[in-house]
Amino acid sequence: MTLHLKKGSSRKSAYDLKNPLDELEETHTLAVLVDNEAGVLARVIGLFSGRGYNIDSLTVAETDAEGHRSRITIVTTGTPAVIEQIKAQLGLIIPVYRVNDLTVEGPSVEREMALLKVAGKGEKRVEAMRLADIFRANVVDSTLESFVFEITGAPEKIDAFTDLMRPLGLCDIARTGVAAMARGI
């Protein structure tokens, strides 16, 4: 039997048993292609704050310098009706070219990068190093009393790594937010 996993609706459960009309909240990843003009990010963020939508994660950078296009990746939570409304409202913003809901449009990959500073000595320092190895985190800065790890992966992986580093002397963390893309062509 194939499990029809619908990401977001099935975070806690392996089965997608959701009624599209019910009021349970789901998490969706939206890729928004915009003109890279002044104020475009403020328009997008203003829409979310003004209408009371959630932003779980937001990343933005220019992806096409010649065409002046930027890609905004937004992870948001809401009932199915709210998610539909968010997409429709985003579509009304004049500099928005396209809105893709990566959560429903087929399989996609999500990656996030984080920098974690872990300070410690002795056994804790060794343990941090060992765990970093397991998580395939890179050391990008090192002193005798600290490391800065760079880790890339799905947000859940970074959550897990962060939780492990906390008792080992985690003292600073910077996360980029999610970048996402549909699989295949």
Cα–Cα distance between 136 and 40 in angstroms, integer? Answer: 36
Residues 90-109 that bind other proteins (CB under 8 A): 91-92, 94
Stretch that binds other proteins, among 22-30, 82-90, 116-124, 152-160 (CB under 8 A): 82-90
Stretch that binds other proteins, among 86-94, 146-154, 160-168, 169-177 (CB under 8 A): 86-94
Element (H, E) at 89: helix 80-92
Report the residue from 5, 61, 88, 126 that binds other proteins according to the rule CB under 8 A: 88
140's CB contacts (< 8 A; 6+ apart) are 115, 148, 149, 150
Cα–Cα distance between 107 and 185 in angstroms, integer? Answer: 11
Q: Which is nearer to other proteins, 82 or 118 (CB)?
A: 82
**Looking at the chain, which runs of residues are DSSP E strands?**
26-35, 57-64, 69-78, 96-101, 108-119, 138-142, 146-153, 170-175, 179-182
Residues 9-68 that bind other proteins (CB under 8 A): 21, 38-39, 42-43, 46, 50
Q: Which is nearer to other proteins, 68 or 166 (CB)?
A: 68
Tokens of 72: 């905004």
The CB-of-50 to other proteins minimum distance in angstroms stands at: 5
The CB-of-11 to other proteins minimum distance in angstroms stands at: 25
Taking each helix axis as running N to C, give the angle between helix 122-134 and helix 155-165, from 0 to 180 degrees, rounded to the nearest 10: 170
The CB-of-40 to other proteins minimum distance in angstroms stands at: 11
127 lines the binding site for other proteins (CB under 8 A):
no
